[in-house]
Amino acid sequence: MKNIKLPAETKNRPLSLVMGHANYSTTVSYTHILQNTKQKEVAKVGNFLN
């Protein structure tokens, strides 16, 4: 079976549907916000442990 490369929008459409977003760009925006929040929280924990 060949490894078929799908566009990110196609691969992430189920996530968009679960989150209730009509536009893929909205899902991308939230994904970036979640990544930034996760990085900040990881930094807090790291600072606490040091």
Q: How many helices (H) and strands (E) in the chain?
A: 3, 0
pLDDT by position in tens, the chain (length 50): 577 777 777 777 887 888 888 888 888 888 777 788 888 888 888 766 65
Q: Considering the domain boundaries, does residue 5 fall inside one?
A: no
Q: Can you give the pTM of this predicted structure?
A: 0.46
36: in domain: yes
In a domain, 10, yes or no: no
Look at residue 8 in the predicted model and tell me its pLDDT: 74
- 38 lies in some domain: yes
Residue span of the structural domain in which 30 resides: 26-50
Domain contains 49: yes
Q: What is the pLDDT of residue 13?
A: 80
Residue 31 belongs to a domain: yes
Which residue has tokens 């909205």? Answer: 26
**Residue 30 to residues 12, 25, 36, 47, Cα–Cα distance (Å):** 13, 9, 10, 26
Question: How many structural domains comprise the chain?
Answer: 1
